[in-house]
Amino acid sequence: MGGFSGHRGNTVPSLFAGIVGGDPSLPLLTFYDDATGERTELSGATLGNWVAKTANLLVDGCGLGPGDTAGVWLPPHWQTAAVLLGAWSAGVTVAYGEPSAAGTDVEFASLPAVEAGVPVGPADRFVLGLTPMGMPLREVPAGWADYVVSARQHGDHFPGAPVTADTGALVATDGSLDDHAALLARARARAADLGITGGRVLIDADVYPYPLDWLLAPLSAGASVVLSVHTDLSKLPARAGSEQVGLTVGPTV
């Protein structure tokens, strides 16, 4: 299976728009969880809808934009991709994980992270159950809103935000800040390190859990992603074949 054309850009939203605009029907992110047996495949159009809903949630629902920061306490997952890409599309800086995600303007956290005691600060806090098929939570922790329910109330089209190459994009765990141009430069360098040049790439996120590796590096190379968590290594060869994978990035890399 081939990769995507038009995958260059100097901001994350322009990169993503170029990929989705090439052929929105192609699989862009396929998610496997070997602990639950889940397989969820998202085309560029479907992931783009979730990204737009998330961006609209942040801008229209929370009143956020460039200069604001989203704390993200989420593991590798297709919904995490939607949250990250949605935040970057809205011009919101992402602070990912410990310790940088504390003290932000909005929070996105997994249910286990909430139960473990994520630092609670902003008024807008969204919990993700990360359930198959994007099902809502049966019970929502006090003080939090269900991300799936909240995002689905917003439109599938995001009109855009004033995101430029020098807009803040990612606060690293050491506290340093990358703008969009610097973040994409890091992503392309990481793609080169991992041997990702396009096509369809299987990534074992148990080994590479940081979004720069499993999300931005493949996208920067125009690659379609097969994302695997709680990976049963014995299943990887057959999975690579059935998904028409050209490269596996995992324990042997």
Q: Which H or E run includes 107?
A: strand 106-110
Q: Which amino acid is at 252?
A: T
Q: How many CA atoms lie within 13 A of 20 on its CB side?
A: 19
Q: For residue 200, how far is the Cα from the chain centroid?
A: 17
What is the pLDDT confidence band of residue 93, given thresholds at 50, 70 and 90?
A: very high
The Cα 78–Cα 197 span in angstroms is 21
What is the pLDDT confidence band of residue 145, given thresholds at 50, 70 and 90?
A: very high
The Cα 79–Cα 100 span in angstroms is 20
The helix/strand/coil state of 38 is strand
Q: What is the pLDDT of residue 5?
A: 55
Inform me whether the pLDDT recorded for 99 exceeds 90: no
Number of residues assigned to the chain: 253
pLDDT tens string 114-123 = 998 887 777 7
Structure tokens at 188: 């392309």
Average pLDDT over residues 226-235: 96
Topology of domain 12-249, per CATH? Answer: Rossmann fold (3.40.50)
Map out the domains of the chain as residue ranges. Answer: 12-249
pTM of the model: 0.95
